[in-house]
Amino acid sequence: MEQKKFEAMLVLIVPKIIGLIVENHGMDEVTASRKFYESKVYSLLEEEDTKLWHLSPLTLFHMYDEEVTTGNITFPEE
């Protein structure tokens, strides 16, 4: 995928994930954003070749939530 298109995908996906973090963890947007940007899930999402960008924001949120609660990340089956 072309870099600009990939960056555009992130711009669409990330705010939805942060919204889910705010909603489910009772954080303000700034704190939720910081925590998500510091997560391993975000680090993997930033790498185009992981193909995580094709997952739904809800699935990515669940991966983030698992990382926060257990320290592990389970990748969904394709």
- Rounded-to-integer distance, Cα 76 and Cα 55, Å: 9
Residue 7 domain-assigned? yes
pLDDT tens track, the chain, 78 positions: 566 766 777 788 999 999 999 999 999 999 999 999 999 999 999 988 888 988 999 999 999 999 999 999 999 875
Total domain count, the chain: 1
Q: Judge whether 16 lies within some domain.
A: yes
Question: What is the three-class DSSP state of 33?
Answer: helix
Determine contact, residues 9/46, Cβ cutoff 8 Å: no
What are the structure tokens assigned to 61, written together?
A: 């949120």
Nearest to residue 31, comparing CAs of 56, 68, 60? 68
Are 6 and 48 in contact by the 8 Å Cβ rule? The answer is yes
Token pair for 41:
């899930």
Residue 77 resides in a domain? no
Res 9: pLDDT: 73
pLDDT score, position 75: 92
pLDDT of residue 78: 56
pTM of this prediction? 0.89
78 in a domain, yes or no? no
